[in-house]
Amino acid sequence: MTNMKKLFILANWKSNKTVTEAEEWIKEFGESRSQSQIAFENLEIILCPPFTLLYPLKTMIYYLSSIIKLGAQDISPFPNGAYTGEVSACMLKDLGVKYALIGHSERRNYFQESGKIIENKIKETLNFGLIPILGVQDKATPVPEGVKILLYEPARAIGSGVPESPEKVNETARTLKENFTKGSLILYGGSVTSQNAANFCRQQNLDGIGAGGASLDSKSFFEIVKNVSQI
Ligand code: PGA
């Protein structure tokens, strides 16, 4: 790899996969990895499975732990306590989770997550030394203090097969960096595939990508990793 900036590749499995399917994915990813010559030093691969898979995956990825880091897709806005159904930052930290995705547009739309809830989630995340990755939908999305990684995903590009152009994304990333979050990292998500991932990562103001649909199959996800590693 000639590009010296660290590139982030985030896999968001959303509400998909059983333990057996996750096992199969990791096995295939491991096989692809051992057959390849990829240098992983400048890549940060973040796997965000559903909560139910975090514990089994912690065990499954022990031999890939220098390559794959675990991220949660969400987090409780509260500490441990009487909050039925919630998974706290403390619990996630204990499982070896490094990142927490917060404010993905599906959370905002289907679960009516407000700015206040998102702020609380960021606080909980930071209190336990987890790294928040904030989903932002446009240049106007508020960015609470302490956030250093943004996942820019225009809603119409998610799952539509029609990504935003890399040039337009680069421009938005530049504005986001200037306006809100100097020195922050910006990832792009929305219909990322193995064909377009490297093009996004080549943009000056982008620091990586997030893949939903294309991360479900380990071979297509590995293709993304391979193509990005060759930038
Ligand atoms: P997609 O999803 O890659 O399936 O478009 C991206 C996301 O929502 O993170």
pLDDT tens per residue across span 142-154: 999 999 999 999 9
Query: Whose CA is closest to atom 3 on ligand 1?
Result: 212
Is residue 223 part of the annotated active site? The answer reads: no
- The catalytic residue among 44, 104, 119, 124 is 104
Q: Measure 189 CA to ligand 1 centroid, in angstroms.
A: 6
Residue 3 confidence (pLDDT) = 55
Q: Are 163 and 157 in contact (CB under 8 A)?
A: yes
Is residue 178 part of the annotated active site? The answer reads: no
Burial of 179: CB neighbours in 10 Å, binned 0-12, 13-18, 19+: exposed
Is the minimum distance from the CB of 212 to ligand 1 under 6 angstroms?
Answer: yes
Task: Return the ligand 1 atom nearest residue 10 CA.
Answer: 9
Residue 2 confidence (pLDDT) = 52
Collect all residues with Cβ–Cβ distance below 8 Å to 177 and sequence separation of at least 6.
183, 184, 186, 205
Q: Measure 80 CA to ligand 1 centroid, in angstroms.
A: 30
Task: Name 208's bridge partners.
Answer: 8, 187
The ranges of the chain with pLDDT < 70 are 1-3, 181-182
Q: Measure 171 CA to ligand 1 centroid, in angstroms.
A: 20
Is the minimum distance from the CB of 101 to ligand 1 under 6 angstroms?
Answer: no
Buried b (16+ CB within 10 A) or exposed e, 48-69: bbbeebbebbeebbeebeebbb
Q: Measure 9 CA to ligand 1 centroid, in angstroms.
A: 12
The residue among 203, 189, 192, 190 whose CA lies nearest residue 231 is 203
pLDDT tens per residue across span 61-73: 988 888 999 999 9
Residue 181 confidence (pLDDT) = 64
Task: From residue 131, give the alpha-carbon distance in Å to each of 10, 124, 231.
Answer: 13, 10, 26
Question: pTM, whole model, 2 decimals?
Answer: 0.96
Rounded to the nearest integer, the mean pLDDT of the chain is: 94
Is the minimum distance from the CB of 142 to ligand 1 under 6 angstroms?
Answer: no
Residue 134 confidence (pLDDT) = 97
Burial of 37: CB neighbours in 10 Å, binned 0-12, 13-18, 19+: exposed
Residue 67 confidence (pLDDT) = 92
- The catalytic residue among 106, 113, 124, 153 is 153
